[in-house]
Amino acid sequence: MPEVDPPLAVLAEVTHRCPLQCPYCSNPLALDRARDELDTDTWRRVLDQAATMGVLEVHFSGGEPMARGDLEELVAHAARAGLYTNLITSGVLLSDTRADALVEGGIDHVQISIQDVEDPAGDRIAGYAGAQRLKREAAARVRERDLPLTINAVVHRQNLIRLPAVIEEAVELGAGRLEVAHVQYYGWALANRDAFLPTRTQLDEATAVVQAARERLRGRLVIDYAVPDYHSMVPKACMGGWARRFLNVTPAGRALPCHAAETLPGLSFPSVRTTSLDAIWRSSDAFNRFRGTDWMMEPCRSCDRREIDWGGCRCQAFAFTRNPRVADPVCHLSPDHGALEPALRAAEAPPPLIYRRIGGSSSAPEDAERLPAATP
Ligand code: SF4
Ligand code: FES
């Protein structure tokens, strides 16, 4: 077996519980229940294994990772093990006391997501009254403690008109980095794709806004920009390539090469309860299935970009074609490229949003609550 470098980072999805109900949530349709979550000792063991195998970073995510009362303990343990620690949070549970405990434990970086700049619009998307205000307060707590702050602003056809104000908000909140992230269509977000996917014109205008802001704010704010790849001609290197840079651990302990991997057929994902991270990463069938380029079909197999985008996203390829080995249909060279057309046409007349009912954790989109779309 060829030598495999360790992952750069582990994404520790410590819980799927979350006080928010964003209709673009990329978590799976069937959420892990609280009673099935890994306990503190098992997470400690997983973090130790990560550090030992050469992982550099751990990203505490969810759901809302602060829904776990032992998050501060896990952060402190990871920091003691020598891992760079990043908290990915909505911010609504970040009190002064908990912020102090995170600093005490050695947190290195905090990323707070925002849904909008206008409170009614942001609270509506989050499904949580007061979310916007709590997020601003959380950002202030992070900066008061001199922690580096990234703002993650999820954008879509219903809030792109306010993108310039989103960028100003990130500056005012004291962020050093802003991620302008168009919704990616996995998990629950796929059920709401047609309500969120921007038109080509909206996307081009947003791209111009980002480019101008990058120039204007050079040296003050770094702006990362993730476009909805449905409008692209070449796919993204999803996860930096299957099992090349990232390893996800779900709340219940399944190890995944990406957050949507469980949508693929014929793969079984090892549990960190019974198998070491190192063995999972190097030897499991699931991580080796699409690693490298040997698994590729044409046109990827002989394409110059095969070690740049790694054939795009396996989960998106399967979602459109039912075959996870084909080129991502986003690619203009893919024989399935036309499969994107219906989604792009539907974006011209968006339907209402579909909200997940938290508590009915495995509810299907057809069972869920529908709210009218805001005027784009
Ligand atoms: Fe990427 Fe495959 Fe398209 Fe080449 S043919 S650009 S490797 S998806
Ligand atoms: Fe699974 Fe892209 S989300 S490979």
Helix, strand, coil content of the chain in percent (nearest 5):
40, 15, 45
Residue 171: how many CB atoms within 10 A of its CB? 14
Alpha carbon of 143 to those of 135, 170, 180: distances in Å?
Answer: 12, 12, 20
Mean pLDDT on 299-306: 97
Decide if 259 contacts 239 (C-beta within 8 A).
no
| Two tokens, residue 292 | 């490298």
Nearest ligand, CA 241: 2
Please identify, by atom number, the ligand 2 atom nearest to the C-alpha of residue 313.
Answer: 2
For atom 1 of ligand 1, the residue with the nearest CA is: 311
**Residue where the block lists tokens 């306010």:** 162
How far does residue 238's CA lie from ligand 2's centre (Å)?
6
Choice among 30-39, 48-57, 341-350 with the minimum mean pLDDT:
341-350
Question: Is the CB of residue 243 below 6 angstroms from any atom belonging to ligand 2?
Answer: no
Please compute the mean of the pLDDT values over residues 42-57 and round it to a whole number: 98
Distance 343 CA to ligand 1 centre (A): 21
pLDDT at 372 over 60: no
Q: What is the DSSP string of 29-41?
A: SSPPPGGGS--HH
Here the tokens at position 243 are 């099992």
Q: Which ligand is closest in space to the CA of residue 289?
A: 2
Note the pLDDT of residue 375: 33
Q: Which residues line ligand 1 (CB under 6 A)?
A: 234-235, 299-300, 303, 305-306, 309, 311-312, 327-328, 331, 333
Assign 374 a pLDDT band (cuts: 50, 70, 90). Answer: very low
Rounded Cα distance between 370 and 23, Å, is 10
Res 185: pLDDT:
84
Q: Is omega for the bond preceding 266 within 30 degrees of 0, making it cis? A: no
Q: How confident is the model at residue 310 (pLDDT cuts 50, 70, 90)?
A: very high
State residue 195's pLDDT score: 85
Q: Which atom of ligand 1 is nearest to the CA of 330?
A: 8
pLDDT at site 186: 79
Distance in angstroms (rounded) separating the CA atoms of residues 44 and 376: 45
pLDDT tens string 344-361: 877 777 777 777 665 443
Q: Which ligand is nearest to the CA of 239?
A: 2
Mean pLDDT for the stretch of residues 325-353? 86
Alpha carbon distance 301, 293 (integer Å): 7
- Dist CA 174 CA 149 (whole Å): 7
321 neighbors 329 (Cβ within 8 angstroms) = yes
* Atom of ligand 2 minimally distant from the CA of 186: 3
Angle between helices 96-105 and 131-144 (to 10 degrees): 40
pLDDT at residue number 189: 81
The closest ligand to the CA of 186 turns out to be 2
- How far is residue 7 from each of residues 16, 17, 280, 287, 311, measured CA to CA in Å? 23, 26, 11, 11, 19
pLDDT value, residue 238: 95
Residue 307: how many other CB atoms lie within 10 Å: 12
pTM: 0.90
> Which of 57-61, 79-83, 189-193, 346-350 shows the lowest per-residue confidence on average (mean pLDDT)?
346-350
317 Cβ inside 6 Å of ligand 2? no
Q: Name every residue whose Cβ is closer than 8 Å to that of residue 69 and which is 6 or more positions away in sequence.
A: none
Q: Give me the pLDDT at residue 357, please.
A: 61
Q: Measured in angstroms, how far is the CA atom of residue 164 from the centroid of ligand 2?
A: 30
